[in-house]
Amino acid sequence: MVRARIIGTGSYTPRKILSNNDLARLVDTSDEWIMTRTGIKERHVAGDGEATSTFAYQAALKALEMAGITAGDLDMIIVATVTPDMLTPSVACLLQHKLEAYQAAAFDISAGCTGFLYALSTADSFIRAGNCSKVLVVGAESLSKITDYTDRTTCILFGDGAGAVVLSREQGQQGILSTLLYADGSCSDLLYMPGGGSAHPASPETIAKRYHYLKMDGNKVFKRAVKALEDCVTQILEKNKITGDQIALLISHQANLRIIQAIAKRLELPKEKVFVNIQKYGNTSSASVPIALDEANRQNRIKKNDLLLMNAFGAGFTWGSALVRW
Ligand code: ACO
């Protein structure tokens, strides 16, 4: 059986750290409130001159090194992001240039916090169809650039960084077994950034209205995320005739510790089978799942033939899951 196998992982987060206490000096909040409601202690944010492609490049270098291939071996580069360096060209093209991977096709995917899983599923399809043999998939974000640091309901959540995987076309049982992707565009007004696109291009008015920052109805997003993800992980297990106890590690989008715990409870997974790093990075949107995957990999939390379950939920709404045999 031809499969897309993950042969390398990498991640990178900027040096600058914003702690809960730092945020408590900007808005009316506290370390205790943020920790209790979200599980976040601190987040990394871009420094001067840093943009999404900066982080994507560093994560990609590490993934390529682990994979033992050069950028010249890549057929395709897919970057999932909601915070590209600019509207066009894509971060994937900027990354292709930095890596000098000029033979690789390159494009971005915008699917909110589920972007990495959408990109992984796309790469998997290209590989299994026989159109690609080595694909670099990156989730990279600079959410600090679109975060309103006067809005306590959102500014406590987001951080910056990137994670990357190299997928290789191989015969065998290891690799991506299944992906499930969903969307519901009717909820687009619950989590969005109104300004900067063709509906509200940048103007003094859009700046005055703070249109260039993320707006979110957190509580509605939270409830929908829990329900959608519980259903989604159950479906992917049923589809693959796998039970929760066969999962070696759950790698969830790190948006809120309470959401991760709800999914783990639904699958009856013990704590040691649930990877959590939200305390260090907050919600890094498309970068969150691949950063967590890379950390779990480098901490030797994943063994050969282990079953990994990944899932994410985000703006759109979009959500999805992926089942991987390591
Ligand atoms: N500090 C102190 N109090 C706060 C803060 C804060 N930072 N933020 C909100 N509050 C207050 C509210 O004003 C409210 O006060 P009130 O009761 O007097 O009105 C109270 O705390 C409760 O607010 P809720 O919004 O109901 O709090 P909730 O428990 O839902 O937690 C949170 C808020 C953390 C945002 C949660 O809803 C959440 O995590 N939502 C999901 C986020 C997510 O998953 N996003 C998806 C991906 S993001 C992407 O795609 C880019």
What is the domain extent for residue 292?
177-325
CATH number at residue 73: 3.40.47.10
Give the pLDDT means over successive 10-residue stretches in the chain (326 positions).
97 98 98 98 97 98 98 98 98 98 98 98 98 98 98 98 98 97 96 97 97 96 96 96 96 97 95 97 98 98 98 98 98
3-state secondary structure of 308: strand
Count of domains for the chain: 2
155 and 190 share a domain? Answer: no
Which atom, in ligand 1's list, is nearest to the CA of 114? 50
Domain boundary among 119, 137, 172: 172
The predicted pLDDT at position 35 comes to: 98
Q: Which of 256, 277, 283, 311 is catalytic?
A: 283
Same domain, 74 and 205: no
């950028």: which residue's tokens?
A: 71
Are both 14 and 119 inside the same structural domain?
yes
199, two tokens: 């509906």
- Identify whether the C-beta of residue 80 lies closer than 8 Å to the C-beta of residue 90: no
pLDDT value of position 280? 98
CA distance 181 to 37: 28
Ligand 1 centroid distance, CA of 194 (Å): 20
Q: Answer whether 195's CB lies under 8 Å from 93's CB.
A: no
Does the beta carbon of 179 lie inside 6 Å of ligand 1?
A: no
Clarify whether residues 14 and 149 are in a common domain: yes
Number of neighbours of residue 144 by Cβ within 10 angstroms:
22
Whether 159 and 186 share a structural domain: no
Domain boundary, last residue among 111, 144, 172: 172
Q: Using the 3D structure, point to which of 145, 172, 199 is the last residue of a domain.
A: 172
Same-domain status, 55 and 129: yes
Atom number of ligand 1 nearest to Cα 154: 35
Distance 314 CA to ligand 1 centre (A): 15
Cα-trace Rg, the chain? 19
* Same domain as 189, residue 84: no
Asked if residue 278 has its Cβ within 6 Å of ligand 1, the reply is no
Same domain for 32 and 79, yes or no, is yes
The reported pTM is: 0.97
Tokens of 14: 């900027």
pLDDT tens, residue by residue, 104-116: 999 999 999 999 9
**In the structure encoding, which two tokens stand for residue 65, read together?**
């090194």
Rounded Cα gap, residues 320 and 121, in angstroms:
10
Residues 129 and 6 in one domain: yes
Whose alpha carbon is nearest atom 30 of ligand 1?
219
Mark out the alpha helices in the chain (DSSP H runs): 20-24, 31-38, 52-67, 91-99, 115-128, 152-155, 204-208, 218-239, 257-266, 278-281, 288-298
Do 196 and 115 lie in one domain? The reply is no
Same domain? For 153 and 35 the reply is yes
Verify that 157 and 208 share a domain, yes or no.
no
